[in-house]
Structure 1
Amino acid sequence: MSAKTTTTTSDGFSPEERAAMKERASELRAEGKKGAKKADGLQAILDRIAQMAPEDRALAERVHVTVTAAAPDLMPKTWYGMPAYANADGKIVVFFQDSGKFNYRYSTLGFQDTANLDDGDLWPVSYALQKWTPAVEKRVIELVKAAVS
């Protein structure tokens, strides 16, 4: 018996990944009030990502997978219509802004003041994001882990 493989391209989530996320949302709803809130936030993010232009959608999907893997305790939700991830207090830590939202030439990955990225008197809290590469993924993982540390 051969194992079924799931392939993800830079075009976004595979059908298997989409189905798994919907199943997870259902599981969270079944867990009760807190789970339902997380499931609703997850569904809101997935709905918002689905509305994006293809290039932005592909980036947003990779950001979503990366953030949820690097910081599983963050709660998914939308924030000003953007996919975002909040700490246990409900405060946004990290968010994704697609280029189409304000007709910018690039999407951004941003961090709020709750992110633990402080470094002296000056540090970046927003990053232009044009293409998803292994190097970009590695840097996003580092940033998210630092932000929640």
Structure 2
Amino acid sequence: MKTIYTTMPSLLGTITIQANEYGLLGIWFETCTTKPGELGQRDSEHPVLSLAVVQLAEYFSGLRNEFDLPLAATGTAFQTQVWRALTTIPYGETWSYQDLANAIGNPKAVRAVGLANGRNPISIVVPCHRVIGKSGKLTGYAGGVERKQRLLALEQGTPL
């Protein structure tokens, strides 16, 4: 299956967006550890990629708090269950890993939920940055903890 990608600038650094014919496969900051080595063909005109760029720009400007984009990331059944649950965390709110485990109906799977959260390929749109430690501490983020802090601040009304 053919994959395509584009990049966009943001106040948090360059973002790479990848899609296929079904939807978004990934959104990564340049330092993300989960970005694949092969992205496919560059295509800034593709409708899904163009729409993603517009919606991300609106998000960073404080004009959008929900995304309406087709998602096509692949993972295990458990990972996709966790990623779906991530999309239910309201804008401007945070959940603990325990909250996320509870949301999928598996309260003992906190560690597994953490691993699945860390493998989420669609940053921002699938808001893994909204998951924090039980104590309220910001924990790891594939795009860097400083970016996570800035994304959460943006959602609390602090402009980037």
Asked if Structure 1 and Structure 2 have the same fold, meaning a TM-score greater than 0.5 normalized by the shorter chain, the answer is no
Structure with more of its chain in helix, by fraction: 1
Compute the TM-score of the two structures, normalised by the length of structure 1: 0.28
Compute the TM-score of the two structures, normalised by the length of structure 2: 0.27
